[in-house]
Each structure stands twice: as structure tokens, then as C-alpha cells.
Amino acid sequence: MMRAVLLFGCALLVVARPDISEEKDVLVLKKDNFDEALKQYPYILVEFYAPWCGHCKALAPEYEKAAGILKSEGLPIRLGKVDATEESDLAQEFGVRGYPTIKFFKNGDKSSPKEYSAGREAADFVNWLKKRTGPAASTLSDEAAVAALVASSEVAVIGFFKDLESELAKVFLQAAEAVDDVPFGITSSEAAFSKHELGKDGIVLFKKFDEGRNAFEGEITKEEVLSFIKANRLPLVIEFTEQTAPMIFGGEIKTHILFFLPKSASDYQDKLENFKKAAASFKGKILFIFIDSDHTDNQRILEFFGLKKEECPAVRLITLEEEMTKYKPESSDLSAEAIKEFCDRFLEGKVKPHLMSQDVPEDWDKTPVKILVGKNFEEVVFDEEKNVFVEFYAPWCGHCKQLAPIWDQLGEKYKDHESIIIAKMDSTANEIEAVKIHSFPTLKFFPAGPGKKVVDYNGERTQEGFSKFLESGGQDGAADEFWLQDLEDLEEADETDLEEGDDIHTKDEL
């Protein structure tokens, strides 16, 4: 009798265990099986996605390929996915605010999952996860193992050490611990030393582009090794695509020079070679990026820089620090010498920021909502006798289109008011030094009086909410703290991917 009860109890446990199905080697996770998956698998990378998200659809083939590689190798690492639109409780629990969001869970710990920060090709996922779950550097016993790592990786860093206790070997391992998305190997093989022509201990970065390999020759410090890797791990010129975007935005180099060039141009290859020649002098200082100006997906980027397709080829430089600042060469010369001179002058602090502005429309003040551009902005908003309420918008922004009729009604209500002005500015075509715009729509109030004060509006986007704000002198609805998204969200939360009424703001789209 007791045996029957025990068997029945075990059967209940088996029946009650949540099912974890798979789609193309990716675990399909839901609220009722999420905890069970974390118990079964010590390492899980989880993608929170939306079925309608274009970025998620583009990611799927590489994500599935990575899942298959890891599964076939028998590693205790699995890839999973959560439909965040269906599993809203999970999405809320893990702070999902854009798609795709990818998080790494280790040993069942849900309290602080690690954000995935590397590229979006299968090899990027595999390398990142292996670094997170195994030794910082793989031990390569012979030349065949060295050759296999080099052949399987776009970039690999290998330490050749006869003395594994040397200072250089210790520094190499410290650097390996600090880099997540590049595989590291370490070898003492005489055959490997001979094959790769090393007469003494050293560090070599192998890559499948440009010169093919780089040998470390700096001081023996972790910082110097990391600087060496940063300077050489990327191509001299990297093309901007959905796959390379995380590498571009997530890298340590925050100064980027962009070359807008149509691939259809007859002299495309010659111009790209000139750009590449200029890039050789700025390794680790400026990231050189090529953008196909013909490609439909890149039109938003051209717009961000105030460029039209017919104005390309063209060069622009941008810094991605706390504020994104753009720079434009004075000359249209696209020779290697001219591009190098522009970059040198920028690094010497001799280039002024480039602020875009449309011409002032003749009828800018003839409508209830006044039209502002860069050239008339400060004159209007910092008039000490006027209270000016401005919407900073983007023509493509869905939220801005929803707000437009309400903003027009607000303008109509105050069109004859002696001290209140309702205005708007297209921030994709106009920039001002006094105010930096990071999301659309942004609403700011410039109260009358001296001092050029600015108040962020954070109340209801209704005519009643706006009116209360204005009648209170910019108090009722003012923001205590203005929220800004992280830079990675530039490609994670594309305006075209958001559902109607979704409350995620997007930054200026790069």
C-alpha cells in the first residue's frame, strides 16, 4: 500500500512539472515554466520579444543558429525566448521596456540577470556565453587547437606563453576576464610558436579582415592590453547594419565618423578605399563607419544628420557622450588627406559643432501654433515678456502625430493671449545649442523673465492638462526629473515597431 502511495505521489510530481517546449532549439518560456527552466539549466540566455517587432524578426535566425550550436556541443547553456506581449508579468518583473531585450540568468538567480551586450550574430551569442560560463581563456594544447579557434572566430586573442607564471601571462588573463565578446586562448605549444613565428612569449590578435593579425608590443599592463584589443578588434571601416549596430553603439569608442556613400556609385570602391586609408591613423580613437545611403533602412539616419540622398557621398562626425554632438567638414573634399585633416582638427578641438536649421518660413507666426527653426528659436523662446510652450517633434513619430490635433487646439485657445505662445519645432531638421532633445515628442516651457529658464512638461497630454500647466505658470505638470533612455534603445525601440498607444519614447534615431 505504501509503495502504491509513493508511486502515485511521484506520478503527480511528473504530471505537475511544467512543460518546456522548444522551437528550433530555443526554449519557449512562459510564466508557468520559467522557474522550472532556471532550475533545469544552470545558464540560460532569454530573449524578451514582440511578434510584431522588426528587430526581433531579424534576430531570430541567428539566435536559433546559436541555440543549435550550444545544444549540439552538449554545453549546459540554453537559449530561451519569452513573448513579452503575452507574458506581461514576466516582462514587467524583468524591466522590459523595448524589444528585443536579452538577459542572462545564471544558477537560477532571478534577482539580477546580466544584460546581454554583444553583437547579434550566432558567433557573438556563442562567444559571449562561453566567456560567461567557462574559463576566461581556453587552454590550447597544440597547434591544431590554435588553428581551430582562429578559424572559428571573426576575432580571437591568443597568448603564447612558455612561462605561464610570467607577468605578461597574468596580465593577459586579467584582460581576458574583462572582455566578454571575444574568445581568448592560451598555449605553450612549440609547434604553435613556430607556426606563427613567435620567438618569445607574446599576445597576438587574429582577425578575418584588414591585416589579418596584430602583435601586442605595449607596456605589460592590463590597461595596455585592453587598449590594444580595442584598437584592433574592429575593421578599419565597419558598415552600419542591424547586425553591427550593437557593436558600434556598445563599443568603447564614442567618437564616430560616418561616410554616407551609395553602393551604386560607379566610384564606390575608390571612395571607400580613401576612407579606409584615412582610418588607419585613428585606431582606437575614432570609429570609421560606412553607411549605404541608397538603403531604405538608412534613410532615418540621413534625416538625423540633415542629409538627402542626392547630397551623398558626404561625411559627418558625431560624439556619443552624455550629449550627442555633430560635426561637419567645411570642405566637400573626400580624399584620404582631407578626411584625415578633418579628424586631426577635431581631436585638437578646432572644429565647432554643426547645428542644423531650416530657413525661417515667411508665415512662421501667421498660424495659432508658431513654427520655430534653429535660426529663430532663441529670439522667440527667450523673449522676456513671453511664456512660450514648445513641442519638439519628428515628422515620422507616431506619438507626435497623435498629439498634433490637441496641440493645434491648444494653439487656437491661446492665439490671442498677450503673453502665451504655443509653438512647435521639427527637431530632425533643426538643432539648438541651448536645448538638447533626446525623445519625441518632448515638451518644454520657457517662462517669461530673465535667465533663459526651461521647464520640462511631464503632465497629461490633454488640452486640459496643458491649460492647467500654462495657467499655473509652468507649475502644475512640471517634471521633477526628465527621463532619458539609454543609447542602446536607439535600435531596440524603433518607433515603427511600437504598438498604438505604447508609452516607450525613442531617441533621435541613428
Q: Provide the annotated active-site residues.
A: 53, 56, 397, 400
Q: Which segments of 17-133 does DSSP mark as H helices, in order? A: 34-40, 54-72, 88-93, 122-133
- Beta-bridge partners for 393: 426
Cis peptide before 313 (omega within 30 of 0): yes
Cell of 305: 544628420
Cell of 500: 498604438
Q: Which segments of 179-285 does DSSP mark as H helices, in order? A: 190-195, 222-232, 245-250, 268-279
Calculate the alpha carbon distances from 144 to 190, 206, 260 in Å.
Answer: 12, 15, 42
Cell of 86: 503575452
Task: Tell me 23's DSSP state.
Answer: E
For residues 46 and 84, the answer to whether their CB atoms sit within 8 Å is no
Q: Which of 392, 394, 390 shows the shortest CA–CA distance to 423?
A: 390
Q: At 466, which amino acid appears?
A: F
Q: How far, in Å, CA of 329 to CA of 338, rounded? A: 9
For residues 218 and 228, the answer to whether their CB atoms sit within 8 Å is yes
Cell of 260: 554616407
Whether the CA torsion 303, 307, 309, 312 is positive or negative: it is negative
Q: Which of 332, 446, 336 shows the shortest CA–CA distance to 385?
A: 446
Q: How far, in Å, CA of 60 to CA of 71, rounded? A: 16
Please enumerate in sequence order all residues whose Cβ is within 8 A of that of 481, keeping only pairs 6 or more positions apart, or say none: none
CA 54 to chain centre: 15
Cell of 352: 565647432
Q: How far, in Å, CA of 191 to CA of 213, rounded? A: 18
501: left (phi over 0), alpha (psi -120 to 50) or beta: left
CA 115 to chain centre: 13
Cell of 132: 560567461
Q: At 22, which amino acid appears?
A: E
Alpha-carbon Rg for the chain in angstroms: 27
Q: At 112, which amino acid appears?
A: S
Q: Which of 119, 117, 125, 124 shows the shortest CA–CA distance to 80?
A: 125
Cell of 270: 575608390
Cell of 159: 597568448
